[in-house]
Every structure is written in structure tokens, then in C-alpha cells.
Chains A and B, each alone.
Chain A
Amino acid sequence: MTRTAERWISLAVFVGLILFWQLLSRIYTAEIIPGVPLVPGWDVLVSRTFLSMADYWGGGLGVASVGEGAERSYAAAALSVVTHSWDTLLRLYVGLAIGAIGGTALGLAISWSVWSRRLIGLPMQLIQGLPLLAMVPLFQLWFGTYFIGKIAFIGYGVGVLFVAGTLNAVRNVPQIYIDNALTLGASKLEVYRTIIIPAIFPELRATILLSLGVAWATVIGAEYLGAQSGLGYILVYSQQYGYVDRMFFVALLFIVYASISYAVFNRVSARLTRWVPRASAPARVA
């Protein structure tokens, strides 16, 4: 099948899903609270639901908030969506970057020698066994409910994945490349820099994709349990009042942001792994 044909089919499925949802909202019209349908159609989502996002606008920039007595406005709603998204995305990507870099560095350090395995390897194995979401309250008490606490938690969740992924990938580096580098005069540090790191990257792709999912789960988890901003905060607020349409709206935002993340990642990683045999058409995930 050609690439164009595949694109058209994807588009058709996408449009089909949208239409199906609209149809469902017409057939199943039950409401959880008066005026809030359990299955909100697109007409509701783009008008009333979107407008209700103005409730979470704190004011400023010349746009008065609902709390200040102003009417809900599209300007306030848009600003609200942008600022809360920004907060969440900032936490997500800073946490992801810290976890990815820290986890990879730790994994490489553990693989360095027998002694580093003994000293860092065992404690890491113990930490890996902890259930992630159960750690949220602990992290909040340790690091506070602010920015640091959240990125520490995301970094931890992502970092654990990267340690395991890196260790496994290092083990799978063919010995012949290391031997070849050593006989050409490379030092151990140079072997890590010029052989191990490029060789593990294709295998880390899976870890990176997995960690994007974990990062979303942890950032929302962290916001769910204690935050004054972010998409997770809107989610908690909406849940308390039974605003299904708002929760669905936030979920849609997640899908949009996650899709963009995956698309960007696929672009970047395709370029970084163009040396890998048969990597010209990477598996599409977004």
C-alpha cells in the first residue's frame, strides 16, 4: 500500500470517529447533572464547555476573571487553556528531560564496572519495585506541592525506566564494536562516548516512547493530588462537580499534545537513527 493511500485511510478513520461520537451524543442523551450530558457532542464541547474553561482563568492581561465578577468570555477561556496547558507541559518536559538524562547517566554509570554495579545496581533494583503512583504523597511531603515536587516525581518515574532501558541496551551492544574501538586506541571513556551511546540509542527508542506515556500519567497524577494549576487541576475540579464535558475536553487536549509529542519525537529519532539498517521508515506510533 502506498504512503498516500495509508494517509487517506487514517484520515477516514479519524473523521469516522468524530462522526461516531456526534451520533452517539444524539442517541444517548442522559445527563449526569442538569445541562451536562454524559456524552457531550461537538456542538456542546466547542461552545459551552470551552467557554466554561474561563472559570479557571485567574485574571490579568486585561481580561477579567469570573471570580472578579466578569462574564465568561472566549478570551478568558482561551487564556485559561493556554496557561494551564503551559504549566502542565512545562512540568512534563522538564521532568521528562531530567528523568531521561539522569536515568541514562545512572544506567551508564552502573554498567561501567563491577563495583558500580554492586554499589548502585542493587539499590536501584529495590527502588524500581516501588509502585509509582503510591509515591505521590511521599514526594509531596518531601519536595512540596510546587514545581520542584512535581518535576522530581516525574523525573523519578521516567528515570527508573531509563535506568532499566539503558542497562539492557548496554548489555546488547555487540562486543565486536567495543573490541574494535579498543584495538584502534580508544580509552574506556571514549568507548562510552563513541560506541556505547550511539549503539544504545535505537534500543532506547522503546524506552523513550514508554516514558512519554509514564510522564503524562505522572504529571497528571501529581497535579491530581495537589496543584493550583495545570490540566490535572482542572480535571480534579471538574470531577468534583460532575462536569463530564470539561473532563472530556481536557482529555482531548491530552490527545492533541501527546500526538504532537510523538510526531516530533518520530521526526527527531528518524534523523538520529538514519544509520540503522531498515530504519528509514520508523514504526509510527502517533
Chain B
Amino acid sequence: MTDSSQGKPNDITFTDVTRTFVRGDGQEVTAVDGVSAHIREGEFVCLVGPSGCGKTTLLQMVSGLLPTSGGAITVGAKQVTGPGPDRGVVFQKDSVFPWFRVIDNVEYGMKRRGVPAAERRDIANRYLELVSLSHVARAWPKELSGGMLKRVAIATVFANGSDVLLLDEPFAALDYVTKHQLHDVLLDLWRSTDAPRRTILFVTHDVDESLLLADRIIVIRDGRLVDDIAIDATRPRDVDTLTRPDMMTVKHKLLAHLGLEHGSRRSAAS
């Protein structure tokens, strides 16, 4: 948390953010090209775009793991200069430390921040219960399934008390059922936590996933922000929600952005 006069403690501001890479052949590639946006406190925003569009790069710059080439990212009133516990990340690949037991993984961030042992154990146990993993608190990660490991990762960032959560295609490698269970786990945690609600930036290439989860969908293509769509549907949403006419309109729009619908491709590139 930061004391701020302009921004809320956990909103995110992108100001003309650019990121370039030098490829192996010496050519310079622009992965993120002049993105400006404002994510309000407590908003659940999905970043959608085709593979290689720069959405993951954008997320990594918010996490501070990757520096920007130009422009600035501000979280609360503080400009991002490196990774920190105010911005929790759930990665696509398994990030749970295999050499710590499940409970010690959930406590990891709190321990680094000097939270007293008894207190952090309480918090860790509470979040393990919220993700239905109390029974494996003392297990080694190798004994858990992929879906369970994702639950551990989610419990870990929530337990660490981050104001902003960054999720980088976290459920892309999971099966259909597990993925939907985890959507519920994530939404429940996000909605149940005491005010102020955490801001979530969720990268995905799965259109239905973004429609089920987001308050707002930002579309990235070729490193540029090309669309910004508010989703008004009430929660909880289910398969029926997705077939509502207004949702279908948004879905068609997103598919067009992804280059999957003929005719609309040109108009979307504006």
C-alpha cells in the first residue's frame, strides 16, 4: 500500500509503455508499442490477443520482472521499477517450490516480509482451506496434480496480501473441468476478500475464459491496444450467460480481433 493523492492504492496506469527486443539476427522487434490505459482499483481485467501479440510482455513489465523500454507503469502512486510483493504473479508454468511443503510454499512471501510465525501459519491455513487444500498442507508438491499446484500458487499470492494480482495464462495447460473449477476458486477469493478488492490483470487467449471472468477486456494486437470492452453481465456467470445476445456480440468482436472471423478482420485493425 502506498499513500497517494492521485491514484487509488491498487490501480494501474500505463503511460505510453513500449518494449523492444533485439532478435538473434540483430533486428529490433517492438513487442509492446505505446500502450496507454488505466485499470481501476478492484477491476478484473483480461488481456486478450493472439499468440505473440505482447500481452505477456505487458504483464511482465507490470510485475517488474521485465523493464520497460519506454513510458511508465504506475501501481498506486508508485512507479514500477522491479518485482515486489505488492504485485503477486501466478505463472503459466508450475512455480510452486518443490523443495518446500505446501504450507511452507503458501507462507513463503509472508515469511520474507517478516510476518510472525503463528500469524502466517493462520493466514496460510485459511487460504489453503479456501482453495480446498487443507488436507495436503504437509504434502510435498510432487504429490499434487497440476490443478492442485495451481490452487497452491493462487493461495500463495492471495495469502501474501498483494494489492494487484497478475495472472499469465494460468489455466492454459489444464483440462476443461479443472479450468472451470479454478475459475470459481479465483472469483470466490477475489469477491470474498475484504475491501479494498484486489485488482486483477489476467492474460489469456481463450475468449470464453475472458467473457466468464472479466469486468473489462483489453485487446492487444501487434503490441498495440486495439480495443477496450466493458462486460456488464452480472456474476456468477455460466454457459448460459455466454449465449446471451450482448455476450455473443462481444464474442464475435473478440474473435474478429483474433483474426478468426472473415470480413471483420480489416475493420478491427483500425
- Chain A residues engaging chain B, CB cutoff 8 angstroms: 176-177, 179-187, 190, 194-195, 198-199, 274-277
Residues of B with C-beta under 8 A to A182:
65, 82-83
Residues of A with C-beta under 8 A to B156:
184
Residues of A with C-beta under 8 A to B91:
176, 179-180
Complex CA–CA separation, A274 to B98 (angstroms): 10
The residue in chain B whose Cβ has the minimal distance to the Cβ of A184 is B109
Whether the pair A198, B89 counts as a contact (CB closer than 8 A) is: no
Closest 8 CB pairs of A and B: A185-B85, A184-B109, A198-B99, A180-B95, A182-B83, A277-B142, A183-B89, A185-B112
Residues of chain B at interface, number, CB under 8 A: 28
Whether the pair B112, A184 counts as a contact (CB closer than 8 A) is: yes
Interface residue? B93 (CB, 8 A): yes
Interface residue? B87 (CB, 8 A): yes
Whether the pair B88, A183 counts as a contact (CB closer than 8 A) is: yes
Whether the pair A185, B113 counts as a contact (CB closer than 8 A) is: yes
- Chain B residues engaging chain A, CB cutoff 8 angstroms: 63-65, 82-85, 87-89, 91, 93-95, 97-100, 108-109, 112-113, 140-142, 156-157, 160
Q: A179-B65, A274-B140, A275-B141 are in contact. Are A185 and B160 (CB under 8 A)?
A: yes
Complex CA–CA separation, A16 to B65 (angstroms): 61
The residue in chain A whose Cβ has the minimal distance to the Cβ of B87 is A183
Residues of B with C-beta under 8 A to A185:
84-85, 109, 112-113, 160
B196 to chain A, nearest CB (A): 20
Whether the pair A177, B142 counts as a contact (CB closer than 8 A) is: no
**26 A-B contacts, Cβ less than 8 Å apart?**
A176-B94, A176-B95, A179-B63, A179-B89, A179-B95, A180-B97, A182-B82, A182-B83, A183-B63, A183-B85, A183-B87, A183-B88, A184-B109, A184-B112, A184-B156, A184-B157, A184-B160, A185-B84, A185-B113, A185-B160, A186-B108, A190-B112, A199-B99, A275-B100, A277-B98, A277-B142
B199 to chain A, nearest CB (A): 15
Residues of A with C-beta under 8 A to B63:
179, 183
Q: A195-B97, A198-B99, A275-B142 are in contact. Are A181 and B108 (CB under 8 A)?
A: yes
The residue in chain B whose Cβ has the minimal distance to the Cβ of A185 is B85
**A-B residue pair count with CB separations less than 8 angstroms:** 65
The residue in chain B whose Cβ has the minimal distance to the Cβ of A191 is B112
Residues of B with C-beta under 8 A to A199:
99
The residue in chain A whose Cβ has the minimal distance to the Cβ of B112 is A185
A183 to chain B, nearest CB (A): 4
Residues of B with C-beta under 8 A to A183:
63-65, 83-85, 87-89
B114 to chain A, nearest CB (A): 10
The residue in chain A whose Cβ has the minimal distance to the Cβ of B98 is A275
Whether the pair A177, B97 counts as a contact (CB closer than 8 A) is: yes
The residue in chain A whose Cβ has the minimal distance to the Cβ of B109 is A184
Complex CA–CA separation, A185 to B141 (angstroms): 21
Residues of B with C-beta under 8 A to A187:
112
A191 to chain B, nearest CB (A): 10
Whether the pair A177, B65 counts as a contact (CB closer than 8 A) is: no
Q: A276-B142, A277-B142 are in contact. Are A184 and B99 (CB under 8 A)?
A: no
Residues of A with C-beta under 8 A to B85:
183-185
Residues of A with C-beta under 8 A to B140:
274-275
Residues of B with C-beta under 8 A to A176:
91, 93-95
Complex CA–CA separation, A184 to B84 (angstroms): 6
Complex CA–CA separation, A82 to B11 (angstroms): 72
B12 to chain A, nearest CB (A): 15
Complex CA–CA separation, A195 to B91 (angstroms): 17
Residues of B with C-beta under 8 A to A276:
98, 142
Residues of B with C-beta under 8 A to A177:
95, 97
Complex CA–CA separation, A182 to B112 (angstroms): 10
Residues of A with C-beta under 8 A to B99:
198-199, 275
Residues of A with C-beta under 8 A to B142:
275-277
Complex CA–CA separation, A142 to B65 (angstroms): 48
The residue in chain A whose Cβ has the minimal distance to the Cβ of B84 is A185
Complex CA–CA separation, A183 to B108 (angstroms): 11
The residue in chain A whose Cβ has the minimal distance to the Cβ of B91 is A176
Complex CA–CA separation, A198 to B97 (angstroms): 10
Complex CA–CA separation, A177 to B160 (angstroms): 16
Complex CA–CA separation, A93 to B65 (angstroms): 43
Whether the pair A179, B98 counts as a contact (CB closer than 8 A) is: no
A205 to chain B, nearest CB (A): 14
A275 to chain B, nearest CB (A): 5
A276 to chain B, nearest CB (A): 7
Residues of B with C-beta under 8 A to A190:
112
The residue in chain A whose Cβ has the minimal distance to the Cβ of B156 is A184
Complex CA–CA separation, A183 to B62 (angstroms): 11
A186 to chain B, nearest CB (A): 5
Complex CA–CA separation, A179 to B83 (angstroms): 8
Residues of A with C-beta under 8 A to B88:
183-184
Residues of A with C-beta under 8 A to B64:
183
Whether the pair B95, A186 counts as a contact (CB closer than 8 A) is: no
Complex CA–CA separation, A179 to B168 (angstroms): 13
B144 to chain A, nearest CB (A): 11
Complex CA–CA separation, A117 to B249 (angstroms): 57
Complex CA–CA separation, A149 to B156 (angstroms): 51
